[in-house]
Chain A
């Protein structure tokens, strides 16, 4: 079983829809949670970064972390065609943990927003 599981999709939605992307994980030491966006043939860029449980909002993007369920989500409101990309979740452990300093990624979800 992989440490981080992410549904690869693909996911296709109409412009303006609310998009929900999710990851589950098995390592209880994970404490840093990130979402990256990757356009085709480019390096990933950081979208959201959260520490421990809770919600974080940045414009049209909201990241949620539920450590009790080992589940994280990224919501995109009013989705735009420019949001079409691969979305990757990533996690790492707290300092002192065996996985500290190591980023573990999900498979990535391919999202297409059509006009």
Chain B
């Protein structure tokens, strides 16, 4: 079945550590996104990528980094510079071009700083 797979589902991080969240899609979508969701804040865009080896900062990119070496994969690293990383992280993908608009989401990774 086609879809987006995020792993792990739950992740615990000690202060000062970097952690990487995985996102893989087999939908052959060009664009991929990372969002952060906090209670009462909706979804805030961290990074997005429209093509392999290219990505753009979203609204809250500080303390995060990404790579897009393959079309199917868009991992997100939460660095120690991110001061408040505890949140629900969502990865999404969509087609580009005429008719673009529908984004498919993974089931999320809940990151907790301990």
* A interface with B by C-beta (< 8 Å): 6, 8, 32, 34, 36, 41-46, 49, 51, 88, 90, 92, 95, 101-108
Contact = CB atoms under 8 A, between A and B. Distances in A.
Interface string B76-114: 000000000000101010101110111111111010000
Interface string B18-30: 0000000000000
B31 A41 contact: no
10 contacts: A43-B108, A44-B90, A88-B43, A95-B98, A95-B100, A101-B31, A101-B100, A102-B48, A103-B103, A108-B43
Nearest to A89: B42
A90 B103 contact: yes
B2 interface: no
Nearest to B90: A43
Given A41-B108, A43-B92, 13 more contacts: A42-B107, A43-B108, A44-B105, A45-B105, A46-B103, A95-B97, A101-B96, A103-B45, A105-B35, A105-B42, A107-B40, A107-B41, A108-B42
B50 interface: yes
Contacts of A105: 35, 42-44
B105 A49 contact: no
Contacts of A8: 40
